Structure 1
Amino acid sequence: MTPYEYNKCVDLFSDSIYRFALKMLKDSDTCHDIVQDTFEKLWLRVGEIAFDKAKSYLFTTVYHATIDQIRKKNRLGNPVDLEKVNESVSSISPDLKEILNRGLALLPEDQKSVVLLRDYEGYSYEEIGEITGLNESQVKVYIYRARLFLKNYIGKIENVL
């Protein structure tokens, strides 16, 4: 990859990987650091990575960095009580996007990442498998389980509207 292609990668993919990291972590400062570290890693391997493989490399690197941050946070955090969250959702009537974001925050890290890659970023099952290190059938199962959880979390659409 040439320096021109590297700069083109920054222009093309920095927003996408930032959005992905932000959906995973909900912490803007940490996400900026992760994106910067990711592009630094790409720069250090600029001679080894082809331009057409750069997007996959970037998302894979961001994925692993966000998973590391989540695991670090989980060691220090508290478990979520789903019943209390459901009560608060039914008592307040926020918009659907906010409810979906809360539901996404409750998903296990693997399910959350594959749903974000599939539904927000538009990757195919095969590409998600390459990024996450999962096989294609595992990706499909995680997406199914995540969507089922979100469906149950939201409940009937009449409850939201």
Structure 2
Amino acid sequence: MDEKQLVSQILSGSDSAIRLLISKYERLVIHMVARVVSDDMDREELCQDVFVKVISKLSGFNFDSKLSTWIATIAYRMAVNFAKKKKLDVVELDEVAFKIGENVEITEQEDMKQFILKLVDQLPVSYKSVLTLFYLDGFSYPEIMEITNMPEGTVKNYIHRARVKLKKIVEEHAVKEIALI
């Protein structure tokens, strides 16, 4: 079923179409919210709220972008607004504080991807969001611009800065690991 059919069926009141929408985009919404909100209970509630808003605003979706981009935009903006409202650590653009040394260890059982995601989580929220949208979710620059409401230059700059900061975190962690040997 393509996006237009799915939207049409949801707008006509199909519960199965709503379930299909949720199952199809659940991972994306969880990922977008988790990049900004760390508390499990808050994330779960916020993800539910995102889908309620998506379904309630679906009649206004005009297919100018992909449905996934539109849903990611709603999830991202709701997460940022939630974090601001709860006064969570929404890192400002030039803040360089990291949480280095919080027992980030690689064990034999731990997957390298999980380790890298832990390092990425140390980045400021703005950098982490665009970096994961680009590399993990595979969104293009125009899609990231739409989701985050940032100009293209800012998106590219944040991705560059995120890579530089991530490299620094990896190097610092490697130095700590070598010192332990």
* TM-score bracket for the superposition, by shorter chain length: 0.7 to 0.9
Identity of aligned residues (%): 24
TM norm structure 2: 0.70
Instruction: Please say which of residues 111-120 and 15-24 is displaced more in the overlay.
Output: 15-24
Give the number of aligned pairs: 154
Deviation at 1:81, TM superposition (A): 5.7
Q: Within 1, Cα distance between the matches of 2:67 and 2:55?
A: 11
TM norm structure 1: 0.77
Q: Within 2, Cα distance between the matches of 1:115 and 1:45?
A: 28
Letter of the 1:64 counterpart = R
Q: Counterpart in 2 of 1:139?
A: 155
Give the unaligned 5+ runs of structure 2. 1-6
Letter of the 2:156 counterpart = K
Higher relative contact order (CA 8 A, sep 6+): 1
Deviation at 1:98, TM superposition (A): 5.2
Q: Counterpart in 2 of 1:64?
A: 77
1:11 equivalent in alignment to 2:39: no
Q: Which has the higher helix share?
A: 1
Does the CA contact (< 8 Å) of 2:104 and 2:115 recur in 1?
no
Does the CA contact (< 8 Å) of 1:70 and 1:109 recur in 2?
no
1:41 equivalent in alignment to 2:68: no
Does the CA contact (< 8 Å) of 2:30 and 2:43 recur in 1?
yes
1:6-155 superposed matches below 5 A: 6-50=18-62, 53-71=66-84, 72-74=87-89, 82=98, 85=100, 88=101, 93-94=105-106, 96-97=112-113, 99-155=115-171
Superposition CA RMSD, Å: 3.1
Q: Within 1, Cα distance between the matches of 2:104 and 2:42?
A: 30
Give the unaligned 5+ runs of structure 1. none
Deviation at 1:35, TM superposition (A): 1.4
Does the CA contact (< 8 Å) of 1:67 and 1:109 recur in 2?
no
